[in-house]
């Protein structure tokens, strides 16, 4: 397991590379050019500037999250080919700085959605929260307005220029079914995977967050069957999944440890975090510790150890603790604590792996 840490770039993140370097076992940053709109080719000079910064701290740039996909590709519009060509050229450039994995998502309009970015918890910390009934009843335009009221930080993947065209986008997706969306993904992968193979970069689709349809939009990466179907669209090790325990875990019927075993050779990248799901479907992003949420983080890490996982892993959203002012979910402290917990589970799982397997065999 290769530990990495998401970083939004200089001037765009409260966490510094020096701090990241001091977290035990972190070897690289998970990065992106957040100022390049979806669909555009990434400029080489900006990529090289990242490389220079990362080199100064001895951190690698092997994981990108995300090269976002233009909505015309998800909608299957004739204009998609120009955006796919840009994507291919971006892949070639990323290979030149050593990128090995690209995490991306195929969610229409929105990336991840929450109704409260700083919900107060019993211990006085805050965390991201999703009130399901609110999403079921809220107008999406209203949600975006609420989120935009937080002037300092936007949610990653929520590109302001795209969200400004919200009504138009909703109209465009009105008749797009899940089958259509999967076909559009298939078209994209058929063109992209051969290029990814050539440049030795694994594509890793991120699950939908939350893993069910919201605002009537189609969603196709919600559970085990969806992932199995996507991996078959182009049956190559370069067509993989970012197995995100928090996104999938907000539907308690998803058994993530079972998915780790089933998709073992198709997981270039793992996001590992916990959520507490309530009986009415609401959920809050708790600390990484197994007993703090409803996701079996311990069982998941054991499963990664069992499959001999050599891919990249990162802690995912943390709470905001010790009065840290940071991007929602992306502070230093709770994610660093999360990493130490994951290492603890991993080291212990590795040491006891053989004896656990012997017990199973008996």
Binding positions for ligand DNO, rule: CB under 6 A: 65-66, 103-105, 111-112, 156-157, 206, 244, 271, 317
How many CA atoms are closer than 13 Å to the CA of 185, on its beta-carbon side? 30
The span from the CA of 107 to the CA of 313, in Å, is 22
Residue 65: CB minimum distance to ligand DNO, A? 5
Task: CB nearer to ligand DNO: give 185 or 349.
Answer: 185
Closer Cβ to ligand DNO, 157 or 249, answer by number: 157
Do residues 289 and 297 make contact, with C-beta atoms less than 8 angstroms apart? yes
Task: List, as one string, the DSSP characters of 10-60.
Answer: TTS-SS-HHHHHTSTTEEEEEE--TTSPTTSPPPHHHHHHHHHHHHHTT-E
Our CB check for ligand DNO shows the closer of 102 and 349 to be 102
Could you tell me the smallest distance in angstroms from the CB atom of residue 110 to ligand DNO? 10
Cβ–Cβ under 8 Å, residues 21 and 51: no
64 vs 345, beta carbon nearer ligand DNO? 64
Neighbours of 142 (CB within 10 A): 11
At its nearest, how many Å lie between ligand DNO and the CB of residue 243? 11
Q: Are 315 and 272 in contact (CB under 8 A)?
A: yes
Q: Are 301 and 349 in contact (CB under 8 A)?
A: yes
In whole angstroms, the minimum distance from the beta carbon of 111 to ligand DNO comes to: 5
| Backbone phi and psi for residue 158, each to the nearest 5 degrees, phi listed first | -95, 90
**Residue nearest ligand DNO, Cβ-based:** 66
Of 47 and 67, which has the nearer Cβ to ligand DNO?
67
Residues designated catalytic:
206, 244, 271, 316-317, 330
| Spatial CA neighbour of 155 closest among 216, 186, 114 | 114
In whole angstroms, the minimum distance from the beta carbon of 247 to ligand DNO comes to 7
């Amino acid at each position: 397991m290769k530990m990495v840490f998401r970083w939004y770039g200089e001037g765009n993140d409260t966490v510094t590379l020096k701090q990241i370097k001091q977290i035990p076992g972190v070897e690289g940053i998970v990065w992106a050019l957040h100022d390049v709109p979806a669909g555009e080719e990434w400029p080489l000079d900006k990529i090289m500037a990242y490389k220079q910064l990362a080199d100064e701290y001895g951190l690698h740039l092997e994981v990108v999250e995300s090269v976002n996909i233009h909505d015309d590709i998800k909608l299957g519009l004739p204009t998609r080919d120009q955006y796919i060509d840009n994507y291919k050229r971006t892949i070639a450039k990323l290979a030149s700085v050593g990128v090995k994995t690209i995490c991306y998502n195929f969610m229409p309009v929105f990336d991840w959605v929450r109704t409260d970015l700083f919900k107060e918890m019993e211990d006085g910390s805050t965390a991201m929260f999703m009130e399901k009934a609110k999403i079921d009843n809220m107008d999406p335009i209203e949600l975006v307005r609420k989120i935009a009221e937080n002037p300092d930080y936007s949610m990653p993947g929520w590109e302001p220029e795209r969200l400004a065209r919200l009504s138009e986008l909703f109209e465009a997706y009105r008749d797009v079914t899940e089958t259509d969306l999967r076909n559009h993904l298939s078209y994209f992968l058929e063109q992209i995977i051969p290029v990814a193979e050539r440049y030795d970069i694994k594509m890793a689709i991120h699950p939908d967050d939350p893993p069910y349809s919201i605002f009537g939009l189609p969603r196709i990466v919600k559970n085990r069957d969806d992932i199995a179907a996507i991996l078959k669209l182009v049956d190559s090790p370069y067509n993989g999944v970012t197995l995100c325990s928090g996104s999938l875990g907000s539907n308690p019927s998803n058994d993530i440890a079972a998915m780790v075993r089933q998709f073992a050779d198709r997981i270039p990248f793992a996001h590992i975090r916990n959520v507490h799901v309530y009986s009415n479907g609401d959920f809050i992003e708790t600390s990484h510790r197994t007993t703090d949420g409803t996701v079996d983080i311990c069982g998941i890490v054991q499963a990664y150890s069992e499959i001999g996982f050599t891919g990249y892993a990162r802690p995912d959203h943390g709470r905001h603790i010790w009065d840290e002012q940071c991007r929602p979910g992306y502070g230093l402290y709770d994610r660093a604590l999360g990493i130490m917990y994951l290492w603890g589970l991993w080291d212990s799982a590795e040491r006891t792996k053989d004896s656990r397997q012997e017990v199973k065999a008996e």
